[in-house]
Structure 1
């Protein structure tokens, strides 16, 4: 049987893997090879590859815009546009009472916020204190690689949590 088109591209990629040792398993090797050597113009799968890539990138851009806009609507939160990353890194301007409550339980204020967010909503963010932020500033990192249909519910839960958090620790 003759191997043509997309199957030929995959066969060619698999052939190249025989000398590749960057990953310990075949799935990882295939993925690494495809990332390093995507379809090229003239390959039968090139148009499909471009369409899928462009669709994913535009979806991520929409996610980022929606998330950044929502975060910037929250009291005490500022967030820059995502530029080529899979994350946004909003800054939290926390009330002194929240900072003191965090210190009372021996936590960084952004870790305190992240833990309370997780406990209240199930939403996972990473506290910024692990990323070398400037002293006295607080951030968290959130991914933008969310399922598009789930973003409104996540934003709603985040907004509700944040409002309650800010009310609880209002100075």
Structure 2
């Protein structure tokens, strides 16, 4: 699988979730081990997305930008879906929020610079908990206008996290 997370369907019953607004989606992957990879082939539709992921079990790994990370349960990681990466998890719950990078108001360079500093942000725990909670409930929310507001609030929160990791932000 490459690109954005698929919603639940007959081909992939472990994924549940949906788009909240045009540039924001939340998904939950249950039970099965997962491997998600993007080779250096670019994104077919030309869009750039960032995924904020929280594994629910220990032992997940992420390789991106010459950086290898071993993730514990509850760690918050950022994946640039426009760049090559390899994510592997063990059985358990994976919570994902994806957002178009343009909506965040940060450059790819700013997002990349924030990656090693996410855990130092005073907003880290708030964002991690938001990603988990949103992925847990989004599949059961009715199709109502409030989803756009929830998507906008999520974009503001994720943007604030990235900006709080900028040099001199503290």
Judge same fold: TM > 0.5, yes or no: no
Decide which structure has greater strand share. 2
Output the TM-score relative to the length of structure 1.
Answer: 0.28
